Structure 1
């Protein structure tokens, strides 16, 4: 067999390392999402003919299209929820305004613990939940989450269809859950001139309950994220020390899941 000299061996290892590095970069670029979204998750229920249906929620995770991994949505209010109390406009906030990567989300899953029960005629019976604790109750989404937008997902649990009485007197959870997405915020973007001057831009809602601020970047651009739908007043405050007046733009309309681009503001 032909022997390889030291230079050949080094060249071979360098080539393998370079190939592995490029492969990793390619994989990262395929699975990465640009920017971040925010997500809130609420749990509601359609009425059922039971005294109580107690679900032990431990986590809420999401899966992205083309990615086998699962990701928690963030800080989840874990606990046991009686689904029959989540009717008539009542809901449980499982996650509130949590930051997640933007991108195409294929599934959302409720990860359950072991304390799941159904109460029938005053008797508490263990609710069997095969595979739910391991892989979670799966709800298909197939939704694209945009950068800078806050989305609220409402998980509507149909108890009557989800609880199956077995012949041995036990009860099985075969969940029927409908997920609806509500995009609840929009974005305002624009620029100021001259670009060499840093400016504080503040958006204030018509009722005064929402105030969002951001500074312009090196190119004079600004973006205000997470604005609920409505009308806003924009206040442009130049950096301290410049003898320039504050500029104001009124009646800037924001729609959910939309970006409103406003006119260039010029300081004289």
Structure 2
């Protein structure tokens, strides 16, 4: 995957078409008081792609979480022309501004991200597989019609502007099909910056390109990529007082996993886990693979979890092939290096020896059903780690 470019703001300037706002008494207040919402987009790192392009044609907002496509109460932010954005340029604090709208003051529940359609050889949505040069179509059947649905309550106060960031997890969202083509199975979250803070850190410059995750309770909340200097930043994490502290998980090919637990986030503040002068440096590790199949109709995603004394952490993920159900993922054999956050840096890391080469593979079906099994890669790669739903 390409290194992330220097921080920039990609302006997608929108003309705003206002529908009747509020709708159904499901959150918006009456009267003439208004505020504004400014919608931006960022991305978690992607697995195996140099580019993941999507073309945004509209953002829709409604006060009701149950509002249908043709119900009242929608406010639309519509670019003058659909804008093609490379999601993989939107990491490490980089944002694309999708537009701004004026809304009645109140609470809003639903956001929809509407994508343009691919038209023949004109690709609105596409991927470039790492090591190749050609764009391949990315199928987005529902996104081009009703939009990608995100349920996330947020408040718009009178005479104020809410910055709402859509975090598009490309790694979990792009799925391969049996014929080698790709489809979008969107994983997107929305976070108002008014309730968020920052986690900032460095890995050694030799570990540039490492994937860094912010996790809670063993699930990835956000992800980024360490830049050419080893710097990484999470700019829109919800404050710890709302959802609890975060765990920072650092993953790099042929290196040991690094885990820093119990990292707090304070609104408007920056929590540092390491600095350029004292970066996190991880030892090398051999890697083995885990592969198998999942019942294809399950439309499943896979997570490789590792347990240490402090908890359970997601180390890697993969989507099962939509047609064959096949999956594979690469994992480090060495024991993860783990440390507990402290305000005085550096944070010491030590090997969790009992966890070396020990993983739990979890398969999550689209229906919500989950299966898991313990896997050891101490003796080599493991095949036929299969799941049947």
TM-score (normalizing by structure 1):
0.54
1:130 paired residue among 115, 128, 141: 141
Which residue does the alignment assign to 1:81? 85
The partner residue of 2:113 within 110, 114, 120 is: 110
Do 2:62 and 2:75's aligned partners in 1 also have CA atoms closer than 8 Å?
Answer: no
| 1:62 and 1:107 in contact (8 A); partners too | yes
Contact 2:53–2:85 under 8 Å retained in 1 = yes
2:44 pairs with one of 30, 43, 46: 46
Greater share of helix: 1
Secondary structure of 1:183 counterpart = helix
Higher relative contact order (CA 8 A, sep 6+): 1
Mark the CA change 1:143 to 1:50 in structure 2 (over 3 Å): closer, same or farther: same
- Provide the rounded CA distance (Å) in 1 between the counterparts of 2:177 and 2:73: 32
Larger Cα-atom Rg: 1
TM-score, normalised relative to structure 2: 0.38
Mark the runs of 5 or more structure 2 residues left unpaired by the alignment. 1-21, 118-123, 196-266, 269-389
Q: In the alignment, which of 192, 197, 202 is matched to residue 181 of structure 1?
A: 192
**Would the alpha carbon gap of residues 122 and 103 (structure 1) be closer, same or farther in structure 2, given more than 3 Å must change?**
same
> Runs of at least 4 residues of structure 1 off by over 6 A?
none
Q: State the partner residue of 2:58.
A: 59
Q: Give 1:124 deviation, angstroms.
A: 1.3
How many residues align structurally?
159
Shift of 1:130: 1.5
Q: Is the 8 A contact 1:58 1:113 kept in 2?
A: yes
- CA deviation digits over 1:187-220, x for unaligned, max 9? xxxxxxxxxxxxxxxxxxxxxxxxxxxxxxxxxx
**Distance in 2 separating the partners of 1:62 and 1:28:** 11
Gaps of 5+ in 1: 1-26, 185-254, 257-268
CA RMSD of aligned residues (A): 2.6
